[in-house]
């Protein structure tokens, strides 16, 4: 049973299906919630807490664009933060990805992707090394194009074409 201090119940055929409201006794201090009843159990689909933080159980989609004014961390503005909820202790290769898909009438097609992978198992604050991988699409499949590792070494999967390259630390080439 879900207990609400104030809420709007939406019914189908005499049975509750949705609750939109505020509850202080269950799950939070005056949080605003949207819950769905599937006939046997209630599931929380979204929550807005009193600090203005929003949590959604599924995808958040917009037909045009997403905008964020962001927060700040000292002098750095962070308009988008993607968090891997796996927690500490997860192994090397666990990743968070950002995909740029090409949508059409038959669904999403691969466009490009950036992943942030753990370079080792995270067990504390000093071993949180990561690498970035950049992918492009070929024949509707992601293909690795560039890897930047935790030592800032950039490895290109294909040819590197440049009209002029300048380096203060040296450039090496391998076959």
**Look-up of token digits 């599931």:** 43
What would the pLDDT profile of 5-52 be if each residue is shown by its tens digit? 677 888 888 887 888 887 654 555 678 888 888 888 888 889 888 888
Q: What is the DSSP letter of 148?
A: E
What would the pLDDT profile of 105-128 be if each residue is shown by its tens digit? 666 778 889 988 888 776 666 677
Task: Please name the residue ranges forming H helices in 110-149.
Answer: none
Q: What's this model's pTM, rounded to 2 decimal places? A: 0.61
Pairing relationship of beta strands 95-104 and 76-78 according to DSSP bridges: unpaired
State the Cα–Cα distance between residues 53 and 50, nearest whole angstrom.
7
Q: What mean pLDDT, rounded, does the chain reach?
A: 77
Tally Cβ neighbours within 10 Å of residue 104: 8
């Amino acid at each position: 049973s879900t207990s609400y201090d104030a809420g709007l119940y939406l019914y189908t055929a005499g049975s509750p299906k949705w609750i939109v409201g505020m509850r202080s006794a269950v799950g939070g201090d005056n949080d605003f919630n949207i819950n769905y009843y599937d006939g046997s159990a209630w599931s929380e689909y979204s929550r807005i807490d009193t600090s203005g933080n929003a949590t959604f159980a599924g995808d958040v989609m917009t037909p045009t664009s997403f905008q964020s004014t962001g927060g700040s961390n000292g002098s750095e503005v962070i308009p988008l933060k993607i968090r891997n909820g796996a927690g500490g202790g997860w192994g090397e290769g666990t990743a968070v990805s950002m995909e740029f898909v090409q949508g059409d009438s038959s669904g999403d097609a691969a466009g490009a992707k950036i992943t942030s992978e753990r370079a080792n198992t995270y067990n504390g604050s000093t071993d949180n090394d990561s690498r970035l991988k950049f992918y492009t699409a070929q024949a509707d499949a992601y293909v690795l194009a560039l890897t930047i590792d935790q030592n800032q070494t950039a490895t290109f999967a294909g040819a590197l074409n440049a009209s002029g390259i300048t380096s203060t630390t040296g450039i090496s080439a391998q076959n």
